[in-house]
């Protein structure tokens, strides 16, 4: 329920969502888009029986009086409240995920000229940003846990070395924290190094929208010196899928970055942003700020389950190995990466068995690990997961499959052309054999760990081709961006 009574604390309000509710409750005659007309009549009966009639009433077109039109509109107020909540100078609500946030951020930095240094394991949306912005990238390699197929963080030292080694003016450094496995980077130390080099620090915090909302959670990167920060609220704090945030930090670079972000945001957002997605962020922000008890219960339950796994002794927790990696300074408690090699099966098979035989759905798997996740403030039953893992291990006790060591990542090919030129130029498909020595037009990443092994503009090497082909031949590996599943062909820049 959205709180509508007048309250002295503005953070207890959700102004944009409340405006949608007022509009819906006024029972308007709706003679505008969306075409469902805000009711369950006629052709919309099926849709209403699918999602309910209320979402149709709240699903309105942008720029309506009393909702998001004019100065200090309810949307603006909602975004200001979000900026305060996460420690930003300004926040933009996004309706196309952190994907949109990343593309917007790179397109904004592109307006400043110069180059950008990327953690090599960045999400593909950042590579899209290179194509959009025509920026020249340099790379910082993250630490990798090869046994478990996990790309972790970059160390401050690696950032410093990459800045020193780069042969151009660096305008921004892009890092990911937390990692997919919940590994948190040393953002304050990295920010200091990046700012000393006169560049902006962008943190892809898609997996950490809850950071800063409880003393037991890692801090929001915006309170640690990030100039820009991207967060998928839909991933772990409970707004609707595809809703996310782009924050501008309250740093010395904010005045320069704000107009650039504003221009880039207009280019990446729809002119018909979903009011349901926007409203869900507003309500989610209010509830994050005012649900301390639910958050505490959820964190307590997760801690108790971790203890239970340790005492049980058959399986181990990936975050208990984080101390071996200098790039990791904290762990996100909402992730429970469990090493399941004691089942004698690989993580992908265990994940499938959990789904098919036990109706337990976990986010992802690697060769040795499954990665269950719990939304903040939620307490789903976790004991059945341990029981199911025991059952799977018992059933497989007779046939123990040794877990293969993960393939070692190949070194990356030289950047011979800007990613934009390679992506947009004339291309052709050639056999894997003929691709060696040519320039890739595509971005290819083997999963796990999802580090792009080849970017548009990079030379294709024999080492990378044989690595990627080995991945496609393994039981559960796949290559994102591949022309065909077996990788017999590559898309290259035409000569
Ligand atoms: C590190 C990282 N950044 C960005 C994204 C894109 O987020 P979204 O799905 O909200 O567009 C993802 C998606 O999983 C991700 O892992």
Residue 7, pLDDT score: 66
Confirm whether 406 is domain-assigned. no
203 and 337 share one domain: no
- CA 102, 191, 288, 19 dihedral sign is negative
Ligand 1: which of 123, 176, 180, 233 to mutate, judged by most atoms within 8 Å of the beta carbon?
Answer: 123
Ligand 1 and 125: CB distance under 6 A: yes
CA of 472 from ligand 1 middle (Å) equals: 23
pLDDT over 90 (residue 3)? no
Ligand 1 and 233: CB distance under 6 A: no
Confirm whether 66 is domain-assigned. no
- With contact defined as beta carbons under 8 Å apart, do 277 and 264 qualify? no
Confirm whether 408 is domain-assigned. no
128 and 240 share one domain: yes
Confirm whether 42 is domain-assigned. yes
319 and 218 share one domain: no
Tally the domains of the chain: 4
Ligand 1 and 97: CB distance under 6 A: yes
- Please name the residues in contact with 481: beta carbons below 8 A apart, sequence gap of 6 or more: 124, 442, 443, 444, 445
Confirm whether 100 is domain-assigned. yes
Strand 228-231 relative to strand 200-204: parallel, antiparallel, unpaired? Answer: parallel
91 and 224 share one domain: yes
Residue 241, pLDDT score: 98
pLDDT over 90 (residue 475)? no
Confirm whether 405 is domain-assigned. no
78 and 211 share one domain: yes
Among 233, 265, 289, identify where a domain stops: 289
346 and 319 share one domain: yes
CA of 178 from ligand 1 middle (Å) equals: 11
105 and 151 share one domain: yes
Q: Which ligand 1 atom sits nearest the alpha carbon of residue 102? A: 4
Quick one: average pLDDT of 238-245? 98
Confirm whether 3 is domain-assigned. no
Where residue 335 sits, what CATH number does that domain have? Answer: 3.90.1150.10
158 and 205 share one domain: yes
Tell me: the pLDDT tens digits for 224-237?
Answer: 999 999 999 999 99
Ligand 1: which of 93, 94, 98 to mutate, judged by most atoms within 8 Å of the beta carbon?
Answer: 98
- What average pLDDT is seen over the chain? 94
pLDDT over 60 (residue 265)? yes
Tell me: the pLDDT tens digits for 417-453?
Answer: 999 999 999 999 999 999 999 999 999 998 866 788 9
337 and 459 share one domain: no
pLDDT over 60 (residue 404)? no
Measure the CA–CA gap between 411 and 190, rounded to whole angstroms: 24
Range of the domain at 30: 10-58
Cα–Cα separations (whole angstroms), residue 161 to 7, 34, 171: 51, 52, 16
User: How long a stretch of residues is the chain?
Assistant: 495
Among 237, 259, 289, identify where a domain stops: 289
CA of 4 from ligand 1 middle (Å) equals: 33
Q: Which ligand 1 atom sits nearest the alpha carbon of residue 180? A: 16
21 and 154 share one domain: no
Confirm whether 409 is domain-assigned. no
Cα–Cα separations (whole angstroms), residue 196 to 136, 187, 193, 259: 21, 14, 5, 23
CA of 100 from ligand 1 middle (Å) equals: 9
Tell me: the pLDDT tens digits for 289-333?
Answer: 999 999 999 999 999 999 999 999 999 999 999 999 999 999 999
Measure the CA–CA gap between 306 and 319, rounded to whole angstroms: 10
Ligand 1 and 99: CB distance under 6 A: yes
- Please name the residues in contact with 196: beta carbons below 8 A apart, sequence gap of 6 or more: none
Where residue 430 sits, what CATH number does that domain have? Answer: 3.90.100.10
118 and 256 share one domain: yes
Q: Among 30-34, 177-181, 258-262, 363-367, which is the least confidently predicted range?
A: 363-367
Give the tokens for residue 477: 């590996």
Measure the CA–CA gap between 171 and 109, rounded to whole angstroms: 7
- Please name the residues in contact with 374: beta carbons below 8 A apart, sequence gap of 6 or more: 298, 301, 302, 334, 336, 380, 382
353 and 322 share one domain: yes
First CA to last CA distance, the chain: 61
CA of 240 from ligand 1 middle (Å) equals: 14
Where residue 123 sits, what CATH number does that domain have? Answer: 3.40.640.10
Closest CA to 335 of 359, 287, 368, 302: 302
Measure the CA–CA gap between 184 and 114, rounded to whole angstroms: 28
Ligand 1 and 232: CB distance under 6 A: yes
**Neighbour count for residue 169 (Cβ, 10 Å):** 12
Residue 321, pLDDT score: 96
pLDDT over 50 (residue 1)? no
Among 261, 289, 317, identify where a domain stops: 289
| Phi, psi for residue 355 in degrees, rounded to 5 | -70, -50
């Amino acid at each position: 329920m959205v709180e509508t009574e007048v309250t002295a604390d503005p953070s207890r309000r959700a102004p944009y969502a409340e405006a949608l509710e007022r509009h819906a409750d006024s029972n308007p005659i709706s003679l505008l888009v969306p075409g469902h007309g805000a009711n369950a009549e006629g052709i919309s009966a099926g849709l209403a029986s699918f999602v309910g009639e209320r979402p149709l009433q709240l699903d309105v077109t942008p720029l309506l009086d009393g909702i998001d039109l004019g100065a200090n509109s309810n949307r603006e107020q909602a975004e200001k409240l979000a900026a305060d909540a996460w420690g930003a100078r300004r926040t933009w609500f996004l309706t196309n995920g952190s994907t949109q946030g990343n593309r917007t951020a790179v397109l904004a930095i592109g307006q400043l000229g110069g180059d950008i240094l990327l953690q090599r394991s960045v999400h593909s949306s950042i590579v899209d940003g290179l194509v959009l912005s025509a920026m020249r990238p340099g790379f910082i390699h993250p630490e990798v846990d090869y046994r478990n197929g996990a790309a972790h963080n970059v160390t401050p030292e690696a950032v410093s070395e990459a800045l020193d080694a780069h042969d151009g003016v660096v305008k921004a450094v892009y890092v990911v924290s937390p990692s997919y496995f919940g590994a948190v980077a040393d953002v304050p130390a990295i920010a200091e190094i990046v700012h000393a080099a006169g560049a902006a620090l962008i943190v892809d915090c898609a997996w950490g929208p809850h950071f800063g909302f409880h003393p037991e959670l890692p801090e929001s990167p915006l309170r640690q010196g990030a100039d820009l920060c991207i967060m998928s609220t839909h991933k772990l704090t409970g707004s609707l899928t595809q809703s996310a945030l782009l924050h501008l930090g309250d740093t010395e670079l904010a005045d320069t970055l704000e107009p650039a972000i504003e221009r880039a945001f207009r280019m990446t957002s729809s002119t018909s942003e979903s009011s349901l997605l926007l409203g869900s962020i507003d309500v989610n922000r209010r509830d994050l700020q005012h649900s301390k008890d639910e958050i505490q219960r959820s964190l307590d339950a997760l801690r108790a389950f971790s203890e239970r796994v340790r005492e049980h002794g058959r399986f181990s927790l990936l975050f208990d190995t984080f101390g071996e990696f200098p790039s990791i300074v904290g762990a996100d408690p909402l992730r429970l990466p469990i090493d399941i090699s004691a089942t004698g099966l690989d993580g992908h098979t265990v994940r499938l068995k959990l789904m098919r035989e036990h109706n337990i759905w976990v986010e992802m798997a690697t060769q040795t690990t499954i990665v269950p996740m719990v939304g903040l403030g939620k307490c789903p039953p976790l004991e059945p997961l341990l029981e199911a893992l025991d059952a799977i291990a018992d059933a497989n006790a007779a046939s123990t499959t040794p877990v293969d060591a993960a393939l070692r990542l190949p070194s990356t090919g030289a950047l011979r052309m800007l990613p934009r030129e390679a992506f947009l130029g004339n291309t052709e498909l050639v056999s894997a054999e003929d691709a060696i020595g040519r320039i890739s037009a595509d971005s290819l990443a083997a999963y796990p760990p999802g580090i792009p092994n080849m970017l548009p503009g990079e030379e294709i090497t024999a080492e990378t081709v044989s690595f990627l082909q080995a991945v496609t031949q393994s039981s559960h590996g796949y290559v994102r961006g591949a022309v065909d599943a077996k990788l017999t062909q590559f898309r290259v820049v035409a000569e």
